[in-house]
A and B are shown apart, each in its own frame.
Chain A
């Protein structure tokens, strides 16, 4: 199930503005890859180019190659809708569908994939996904209530449940824990560690300890200067990044001597 992602010479644009430049990276299957870097350096932009969500923004485009298990993600015969069904995403801000109940939120993706499941199978899937997202005990008595009635952290876990309910091959997470308390954060991290047995996970985080705790590989993005595109400065095993990075700027950023 898990897939390998190879990115070569990727430039990402918003209209004429080049947001990210020259990314080369190989993301290993069945592992967690963390992306760190200062605000505005293009981490979210890069992440969104991996499931073709980037092109949803009017005028946005990419140059370069993204290959998943040998298949060119941006090939002319590839439907972005299919790409997104295989590559799930959790956003920086929790975004459960406000018009749907908690239950319907969890199964929203499954219903799209047009696999007709029996009610019992759906019930089972909802429980499994919510348990995996560490939310089940809090919501099991109000599955028919609107998802927007949950707290911010609960909403984010609901979004994670929704993303993993469809069993994606790759899971992209953009600062999934920025709205969570430490206990929920740890639960999500445990969850990621379990999920990486089956999925490839890429996570953007501002939390160094989190990157150090959960990831096998870490990529450091940085801006060369104001108005310049972001670049992938260093990509190495997490242990190496946090003990003996190749680049001076990586070390500065990690040790808080940034800027």
Chain B
């Protein structure tokens, strides 16, 4: 009922100090991450550039940077994939066991023990791999060569030291197990009671309940955990450098002494004695590792988002 045509001034929406501080620090942290990421990328590209432009003959191996990096990429991926194939099902099974099969008091303790695996330094895993796991696997490798030799993976000749690609993959598997199982456990325990009860009321056994209401709900968590594990496996340096007997080349043979190296282990082993162009070559391989890890993470995002409307996260 005012006579003036101007609308009454809207009261300024009151912004509380806490909100502003939180919004500011969240934004700052986000920007900081991007800056660090960009900085790393710029460093890698500028330092790697000479290796790409130099004449192939000047580089280690003498055939250009790509043929230098290719076996390393292959070795990196092979070791990581072996680790992932072994660790993911095992970690999911452990997580399910702890969340749905073990009495609650025991579950906390068991979960804690699995988490402790993540606290072991990778150098210790490396020693364990060389000193305990590798010798223990030697008889198995001999058996595999004799009986499974027709499969290229087990073509042999079997390693007498056990320092094979498969041993390296197993060590990596143990190392990434706690990450995957911790994240799986977290999402499994959050599967809504409402839907678990819906399954049980239809006459589902415990396992059927898990397949109907827990695993579908936890799928993106499993994938996320596996990708984190993959990230660690791709970048793992010390354990591989210690365990794997490296000779270069590309080979699917998992039980022999002649194995491709991995990018990270190769950098660690070569860097101290490298100068000049060799350093640039190593950094170029680091750049490739960076790109692979980035691609893996983007792929994981894409997989997780693809069926988002079926995810049950709402």
Q: Are B201 and A88 in contact (CB under 8 A)?
A: yes
Q: Are B200 and A149 in contact (CB under 8 A)?
A: no
Q: Are B208 and A112 in contact (CB under 8 A)?
A: yes
Q: A146-B309, A146-B310, A148-B314 are known contacts. Are A97 and B203 too (CB-CB below 8 A)?
A: no
Q: Are A53 and B197 in contact (CB under 8 A)?
A: yes
The stretch of A13-21, A77-85, A124-132, A204-212 in contact with B is A77-85
A82 to B202, CA, bound (A): 10
Interface of chain B, main secondary structure: helix
Residue of A nearest to B198 (CB): A95
Q: Are B216 and A81 in contact (CB under 8 A)?
A: no
A95 to B202, CA, bound (A): 12
A58 to B107, CA, bound (A): 14
Query: Which among B195, B217, B219 is the interface contact of A95 at CB below 8 angstroms?
Result: B195
Which of chain B's residues 185-233 have a Cβ closer than 8 Å to chain A?
192, 194-195, 197-205, 208, 212-213, 216-217, 219
Q: Are A98 and B195 in contact (CB under 8 A)?
A: yes
Q: Which residues of B contact A56 (CB under 8 A)?
A: 197, 200
Q: Which residues of B contact A146 (CB under 8 A)?
A: 309-310
Q: Which residues of B contact A228 (CB under 8 A)?
A: none
Q: A97-B195, A99-B311 are known contacts. Are A81 and B213 too (CB-CB below 8 A)?
A: no
A84 to B192, CA, bound (A): 20
A51 to B201, CA, bound (A): 8
Is the C-beta of A108 less than 8 angstroms from some C-beta in chain B? yes
Is the C-beta of B104 less than 8 angstroms from some C-beta in chain A? yes
Query: Which among A58, A99, A109, A166 is the interface contact of B216 at CB below 8 angstroms?
Result: A99
Closest chain A CB from B75 CB (angstroms): 38
0 or 1 for each of B260-274: is its CB under 8 Å from A? (1 = yes): 000000000000000
0 or 1 for each of A81-120: is its CB under 8 Å from B? (1 = yes): 1111110110101011111110000001100110000000
Q: Which residues of A contact B194 (CB under 8 A)?
A: 91, 93, 95
Is the C-beta of B312 less than 8 angstroms from some C-beta in chain A? yes
Q: Are A89 and B201 in contact (CB under 8 A)?
A: yes
A15 to B311, CA, bound (A): 34
Chain B: residues with Cβ within 8 Å of the partner, total of: 24
Is the C-beta of A135 less than 8 angstroms from some C-beta in chain B? no
Which of chain B's residues 278-314 have a Cβ closer than 8 Å to chain A?
309-312, 314
Closest chain A CB from B103 CB (angstroms): 9
Chain A: residues with Cβ within 8 Å of the partner, total of: 32
Residue of A nearest to B313 (CB): A98
Q: Are A95 and B216 in contact (CB under 8 A)?
A: no
Q: Which residues of B contact A88 (CB under 8 A)?
A: 201-202
Residue of A nearest to B205 (CB): A81
Is the C-beta of A192 less than 8 angstroms from some C-beta in chain B? no
Residue of B nearest to A105 (CB): B198
Is the C-beta of A162 less than 8 angstroms from some C-beta in chain B? yes
Residue of A nearest to B196 (CB): A56
Q: Are A91 and B203 in contact (CB under 8 A)?
A: no
Q: Which residues of B contact A188 (CB under 8 A)?
A: none
Q: A58-B104, A91-B194, A112-B208 are known contacts. Are A99 and B202 too (CB-CB below 8 A)?
A: no
Q: Which residues of B contact A99 (CB under 8 A)?
A: 216-217, 219, 310-312
A28 to B95, CA, bound (A): 45
Q: Are A112 and B204 in contact (CB under 8 A)?
A: yes
Query: Which among A93, A101, A148, A166 is the interface contact of B202 at CB below 8 angstroms?
Result: A166
Q: Which residues of A contact B205 (CB under 8 A)?
A: 81
Q: Are B217 and A159 in contact (CB under 8 A)?
A: no
Q: Are B203 and A84 in contact (CB under 8 A)?
A: yes
Query: Which among A93, A96, A112 is the interface contact of B203 at CB below 8 angstroms?
Result: A112
Which of chain A's residues 56-71 have a Cβ closer than 8 Å to chain B?
56, 58
Q: Which residues of A contact B202 (CB under 8 A)?
A: 84-85, 88, 108-109, 112, 162-163, 166
Closest chain B CB from A155 CB (angstroms): 11
Residue of B nearest to A51 (CB): B201
Q: Which residues of A contact B212 (CB under 8 A)?
A: 97, 100, 108
Q: Which residues of B contact A84 (CB under 8 A)?
A: 200-204
Closest chain B CB from A52 CB (angstroms): 9
Q: Which residues of A contact B216 (CB under 8 A)?
A: 97, 99-100
Q: Interface on B for A, CB 8 Å cutoff?
A: 104, 192, 194-195, 197-205, 208, 212-213, 216-217, 219, 309-312, 314
What are 25 pairs between A and B in contact, CB < 8 Å? A53-B197, A53-B200, A58-B104, A83-B203, A84-B200, A86-B203, A89-B201, A91-B198, A91-B201, A93-B194, A97-B195, A97-B198, A98-B311, A98-B312, A99-B216, A99-B217, A99-B310, A100-B310, A108-B199, A109-B202, A112-B202, A112-B204, A112-B208, A146-B309, A148-B312
Q: Interface on A for B, CB 8 Å cutoff?
A: 51, 53, 56, 58, 81-86, 88-89, 91, 93, 95-101, 108-109, 112-113, 146, 148-149, 159, 162-163, 166
15 A-B pairs besides A108-B212, A166-B202 with CB distance below 8 A are A56-B197, A81-B204, A81-B205, A84-B201, A84-B204, A88-B201, A91-B197, A96-B198, A98-B195, A98-B311, A99-B312, A101-B310, A108-B199, A112-B203, A159-B198
